[in-house]
Amino acid sequence: MSYNSTSTIITRLTVKYQINCAVQCANHFANCTTAVFDSLSIPQCTLYSGRLSTANLTVSMNTIVYDFQQSNLTATPILDRWNKTGITVAGASNGSVGKAPNLLSTPYGITLGSFNSLYIADLNNNRIQKWMINASTGTTMAGLSNGTYGTSSVALDSPVSVVLDSNDNMYFTDRNNHRVVYWANGASSGTTIAGIAGTSGSTNNTLFGPTSIVRDSSTGTLYIADTLNNRIMKYLVNATSGTVVAGGNGPGTGITQLYNPIGLAFDSSSNSFLIANYLSNTIVRWVLGASSWTLVIGSPTGLSGSTSTLLNQPVGIASDPMGNIYVADSGNHRIQFFFAGQSNGTTIAGVTGSSGISQNQLNSPYWVIVDNQLNLYVSDTSNNRVQFFSHL
């Protein structure tokens, strides 16, 4: 490539995607006006403080040029491209709690199913609810619709996280029953596939307050955040016991320890887990096969806070195809966005430190997911509703 010599190079960075390159220019360098992304070999982002002359710029098919002075592209990056006003898509917008089909009680994990459906772990109602997008009521898919708890194959006790396979069969953690349940789509009862119903423990065949669950769709392997045992467990298909793949060394902030891990997301590009440590206020990365983690977000000492680099009791965690991270920062009543490789976040939903029921506020959000259009769905847990924030 050849560039106009009057343009000054600020820096060159290795980034995976074009939009990441543009975000670096727009958000991290005040004097940056142009970003050039080249993916011909090692993906490289070059940032310039001057304007480029297109006559002197050789552009390949795999090169994207962002010139914020000359093009129609704006300098508003992905960080600021969500509507700050949410729309209630499940539960009551005024925060009403109840067992009726149009209400929720402490919604926790959420996931998207087929045909514009949303599945919700309705924790205090001891059921899994399915809401069609734009519907005013939900349908009970697992557990008892009247909210009764139990340890039988038809009852649940505080379900937390639910994932689906390609046929919308459900796998979910039944926290207070210390088990993971498989519930076929349309079935009237479920099967315990990890843990022992109603029995807590720390052996390889027992769980203690499991929360998040991740399923490998290619193998059917389950990864379970065994929260009160401070470890992540791996269960193969039809296995009666699991193996520890992270933590298991008691609670704490040491690099071989986890501290009430709740949120769990798998990053296939690095064969690693992103883990939200609720009680140490951190997001850590644990590569499968490793014996320790590396810090991604938060303080290594476990310090909580409300600044852009600190968290306060993080619960849910999600990532997008660009490697960006979204955290339900429950104690700060906000959703934080972290650009891939960065530990300095931006609030994209909620108001930091301010809980409330208005459509731009959240109250102890426990879960966040991102659809393929980068729209956000948030379990606004203490407001007993699920909020939708559109990507602009």
Q: How far apart are CA 244 and CA 84, in angstroms?
A: 40
Residue 139: domain span: 80-389
What proportion of the chain, given as a percentage, has pLDDT over 70?
A: 86
Asked, for residue 296, whether it belongs to a domain, the answer is: yes
Helix (H) or strand (E) run with residue 22 in it: helix 18-28
For residue 17, pLDDT beyond 70: no
pLDDT tens sequence across 354-374? 999 999 999 999 999 999 889
Region 117-143: mean pLDDT is 97
Please give the pLDDT value at position 48: 79
Contact present, 370 and 388 (Cβ < 8 Å): no
**Helix (H/G/I), strand (E/B), else coil: 19:** helix
**Helix (H/G/I), strand (E/B), else coil: 20:** helix
Asked, for residue 26, whether it belongs to a domain, the answer is: no
Region 285-307: mean pLDDT is 97
User: Is 0.75 surpassed by the pTM of this model?
Assistant: yes
Please give the pLDDT value at position 27: 63
pLDDT tens sequence across 237-280? 999 999 999 999 999 999 999 999 999 999 888 899 999 999 99
For residue 152, pLDDT beyond 60: yes
Please give the pLDDT value at position 10: 80
For residue 113, pLDDT beyond 90: yes
Binning pLDDT at 50, 70 and 90, where does residue 169 land? very high
Please give the pLDDT value at position 50: 67
Asked, for residue 64, whether it belongs to a domain, the answer is: no
Please give the pLDDT value at position 13: 76
Asked, for residue 61, whether it belongs to a domain, the answer is: no
Nearest 5 degrees, angle CA 343-CA 345-CA 350? Answer: 150
Nearest to 194 by CA among 221, 168, 167, 216: 221
Please give the pLDDT value at position 38: 74
Number of domains in the chain: 1
Measured from the Cβ of residue 65, the count of other Cβ atoms closer than 10 Å reads 22
Please give the pLDDT value at position 77: 42
Q: How far apart are CA 114 and CA 137, in angstroms?
A: 17
pLDDT tens sequence across 298-357? 999 999 999 999 999 999 999 988 889 999 999 999 999 999 889 999 999 999 999 999
Please give the pLDDT value at position 65: 54
Region 159-173: mean pLDDT is 97
Asked, for residue 141, whether it belongs to a domain, the answer is: yes
Region 139-144: mean pLDDT is 98
Asked, for residue 33, whether it belongs to a domain, the answer is: no
In total, the chain counts a number of residues equal to: 392
Please give the pLDDT value at position 6: 54
pLDDT tens sequence across 53-97? 544 444 333 444 545 444 433 333 444 589 999 999 999 999 999
Please give the pLDDT value at position 56: 44
Binning pLDDT at 50, 70 and 90, where does residue 8 land? confident
Q: What is the CATH number of the domain that holds 286?
A: 2.120.10.30
Name beta bridge partners: 261.
Answer: 277
Region 185-200: mean pLDDT is 97
Contact present, 230 and 258 (Cβ < 8 Å): yes
Asked, for residue 46, whether it belongs to a domain, the answer is: no
> Which of residues 4 and 21 earns the better pLDDT score?
21
Please give the pLDDT value at position 76: 37
Binning pLDDT at 50, 70 and 90, where does residue 11 land? confident
Q: What is the mean pLDDT of the chain?
A: 89
Asked, for residue 253, whether it belongs to a domain, the answer is: yes
